[in-house]
Structure formats: structure tokens, C-alpha cells
Amino acid sequence: MEIQAIPPLPQAPAVEPPVLSESPSLLPPVFQNDSSAPKLITQGAEALLYRSTYLLPEIPCALKYRPSKPYRHPILDARLTKHRILSEARVLVKCRKEGVPVPAVYALDEKEGWLMVEWIEGEVVRIKLNEWLRNRKESGIQEGGEEHLKGLMRRIGSAVGRMHGIGIVHGDLTTSNLMLRLNGISIGDEATTDDRILDGEVVLIDFGLASQSTADEDRAVDLYVLERAFGSTHPRAEPLFSEVLDAYGQSFKGANIVLKKLEDVRMRGRKRSMLG
């Protein structure tokens, strides 16, 4: 008896992730008829970030929109979106009230899933720091001239210390979520390419994973994430991370306990790295 081979089962076609355009049709109806259509800046796993305007064309703002997720149950998706929009807005308002440098909240609609905040004119620390380090390398500078870098590190530590001091934990502290506001420095100004490239106020952004917590463990993890970000993205600047911690200690009274916790978190991180 002839044995016939069993044909392979048909494979489902690969599903390509949706490619999002800059069309305002992706946004809630309130923004679709805007005379100056919001411009898509970046797309994250949970939200889209647009540059738009608030009330007047000359007032720029950042529009964060959380579109519905088709893989979630509609009721659960609506609850999660509402919770995350309100949670982020509450954290930002508390930070602003207590003098922590964050964008101001302009408007929100938790049901439609959007949050409108102040547009920070400047650049993320990741880009400016890498530019500064690249300029030094191209100029052949190996030692000295680190005062500007130390100043930046200390401003970062001070900002994080003030945030932790009011009971807020960021949850995603990286140099991509720290901005340098251009205080009196115009984009394209020749001064921004030399020793002033690291000037500006440090502003904390993107509080989508933030929470209100006074746990020293949570604060230590925040610092550890930032330290790891420097180690992976800016290894040449990592030796000066002690400046961040020193300024953190001066801006937050409970820093000593947090820094001791940081040592424990580092040890756990090293063990995980060794075990793979």
C-alpha cells in the first residue's frame, strides 16, 4: 500500500505592524479639523506624541495621545487609558506645584485618551551629551574641560532629588526623558556647538510610568535605571555619575537611605548579569 505524505498545514500570513502616518485622522475628532494639524513627532508602544498648538497658533504644546488597543477588551482598555492619563496629569501637576522642573499641564480628556502639556523648546540630554562628547573626541581633547559636564550632571541630580523629595518616582529615568531647555539660546546659535552645548535647565519629561511613592527601594531603582542609561548610552560620561548622586544628596534630605538602597540594587543587578 502506497503511503502518501501529509501536506503541511497552511501558515497564517505574517501580520505587519500598522504604519502610522502624520494624518490627524488618527487623533480624536476634536483635533481632526484643526487649522494647524498636529505633527507626529514619535510613536511609542502605548502612545503617540504630536506637536500642536494650545488656544493660539503661537503657543506650541505637546499632545500625547493613547489610541485604543484592539487586542484589549474595550472596557478594560478604556479603564486603563483613563487611569494612565489621569495618573500622569496628577503627577505633573504635583511636580509643578512643588517646583520640580516638568512641563505644565494645559488640558486633557481621559475618555478620549489625550493629554496636552507645555512644549519644551530644547533637546533631550541624550542628543546634546553625545554631541558634546563627539566634539571633544574630534578635537582630540582627552582630559580637562569637564566643568560643563559636571554642571549638567549636578543639575540632573538636583532635579531628580527634588522629584523624589515630593514622593514622585519617574519609572523610566533615561537621558531620553531629560531635556535641556534653551534658556535664551537660539537653536542654530554657534554658541550651542562649543562650551555652551550643555547649558540650559534640566526638565524631566514623559511621566507615563511615574507613580506617587515614598519607598526608598523605588527611588533607588530610579537612580539605578539612570546610572545604567549613562553606562550604556554615554560610557565616557559614566565616571562622573558621582556628581549626579552628590547633587541628589544635597537636594533631598532622605538621600542617605536611598543611596544605601542603591548599593543593594546594584548588587542584585550584577547577580542577574552574571546569571544571564
Show Cβ contacts of residue 138 under 8 Å, excluding neighbours closer than 6 positions. Answer: none
Q: Could you count the other beta carbons within 10 Å of the beta carbon of residue 223? A: 25
Q: Cell numbers of 22, please?
A: 502624520
Known catalytic residue at 172: yes
Give dist(CA 260, CA 50) in Å, integer: 40
Give dist(CA 105, CA 82) in Å, integer: 16
Residues 132 and 197: beta-carbon distance below 8 Å: yes
Catalytic residue selected from 34, 77, 109, 172: 172
CA 107 to chain centre: 20
Single out the residue of 201, 197, 120 nearest to residue 154, CA to CA.
201
**66: amino acid identity, one letter:** R
Q: Which long-range contacts (CB under 8 A, 24 or more apart) does 75-78 make?
A: 78/111
Residues 175 and 126: beta-carbon distance below 8 Å: yes
Give CA separation, 186 vs 88, 197, 199, in Å: 30, 11, 12
Q: Cell numbers of 4, please?
A: 502518501
Q: Which residues are registered as beta bridge partners of 122?
A: 181
**Burial (CB count <10 Å: 0-12, 13-18, 19+), residue 57:** exposed
Q: Which residue bears the cell 506617587?
A: 212
Rounded to 10 degrees, what is the CA torsion of 239, 244, 250, 253? -110
> Which are the catalytic amino acids?
172
